[in-house]
Amino acid sequence: MAEIFPEDQALSRALATLRAGEVVALPTETVYGLAADAANGEAVVRIFETKRRPRFNPLIAHVASLDMAQSLASFDPVSLRLAEAFWPGPLTLVLPLREPAGVHPLVTAGLPTVALRVPRGFARDLIAAFGGPLAAPSANSSGRISPTSAAAVMADLGSRIPLIVDGGRTLVGVESTIVKVNDGEAVLLRPGGIAAPDIERVLGRPLHRGTHGAIAAPGMMASHYAPRAAVRLHASDVVPGEALLAFGPRRIPGAEGAARMENLSPAGDLGEAARNLFAMMNALDLPGVPAIAVEPIPAEGLGEAINDRLARAAAPRDAGLAQGA
């Protein structure tokens, strides 16, 4: 069973665990990650095995600085501008890998590109002390809800990992926004913790969307973030026995008959809703509850990432079971 250390006492223990080629679950500002030495193939294999994640789905390499990022990948001017604007923070950039590669090929699933980000807080301090990149997907079993607390990591992976660093509830609550620049055009591969309009303000032009060409993030198309209960989006009422994931001050008809209700943000604040999303989906995923009805959530700003995660939670469960991240 994993040992849990508070983040202000965890650095030397986490370093020793990583240097031994083991995995460490740790807080980032988005969600908890399952980290290992990105240069050590056996350590990276442990990530895939622990999560039961298919090996064709590449991992994000987390770095401590733009310098460390530039030692691993070549930056075009647009990616450089985004890195300078948003790092450290919840932006992941997909970039051409430099040779000789500073990450094991398992991290990139053999792709010629690598996904990079500089996280905030403990994760960044640990990477700086470690002196090299850490591969870290979200610290959940493949296809399940991403953890936003040490307790959620413990419940899912606790029996399979040696160490969990406890940094409390994560600040952002949804994973990083993933962007790839193709010939000067920035493409949104995954909406996330930085809202698209904030990126567009830095770019001075719109982000491209959709997945034309070979640019999909492999985890994107699948059933993902799946609770055990079915998920019913844009609900206009609650069927008796369903749980209700509410948003804002007004309730849909039948709310009083819900088996249980959680409100993402009674005030209708999308940042608060993102922070609460995964923990509340978990809380509503109760035995005997057949489905979770979800009230409509505006699609603007962080609402894009929230609706993206909810849509994948609601996707047919056989639509790509192997692809969850």
By the criterion CB under 6 A, which residues form the site for ligand TXA? 28, 30-31, 33, 57-60, 90, 92, 94, 108, 111, 113-115, 119, 136-138, 175-176, 178, 189, 217-220, 325
Q: Which listed option, ligand TXA, Mg ion, none, makes contact with residue 72 (CB within 5 to 8 Å by class)?
A: none
Nearer to ligand TXA by C-beta: 144 or 285?
Answer: 144
Instruction: Output the six-digit token pair for 225.
Output: 């973030």
**Residue 251 DSSP one-character state:** P
Mark 252-268 as b/e (b = at least 16 C-beta within 10 Å). bebbeebbebbbbbeee
**Between residues 235 and 325, which has the closer beta carbon with respect to ligand TXA?**
325
Residue 26 or 258: the one with the smaller Cβ distance to ligand TXA is 26
Work out how close the CB of 304 gets to Mg ion at its nearest, in angstroms, rounded to a whole number: 17
* Closest separation in Å from C-beta 92 to Mg ion: 11
CA quadruple 299, 301, 302, 308: dihedral positive or negative? positive
Site for Mg ion contains 244 (CB under 5 A): no
Alpha-helical regions (H) of the chain: 11-19, 41-51, 66-72, 77-86, 105-108, 122-130, 150-157, 196-203, 270-284, 303-314
Question: In sequence order, what are the residues at sequence separation of 6 or more whose Cβ sits closer than 8 angstroms to the Cβ of residue 57?
Answer: 109, 218, 219, 323, 325
Q: Which of 25, 118, 313, 325 binds Mg ion (CB under 5 A)?
A: 325
State in angstroms the smallest separation of the CB of 296 from ligand TXA.
25
Which entry of ligand TXA, Mg ion, none binds 111, CB below 5 to 8 A by partner kind?
Answer: ligand TXA
Binding residue for Mg ion (CB under 5 A) from 28, 57, 138, 177?
138
d(CA 198, CA 323) in angstroms, rounded, equals 29
Q: Characterize the bridge pairing of strands 32-37 and 113-117.
A: unpaired
Of the candidate spans 60-68, 127-135, 138-146, 228-236, the one that interacts with Mg ion by CB under 5 A turns out to be: 138-146
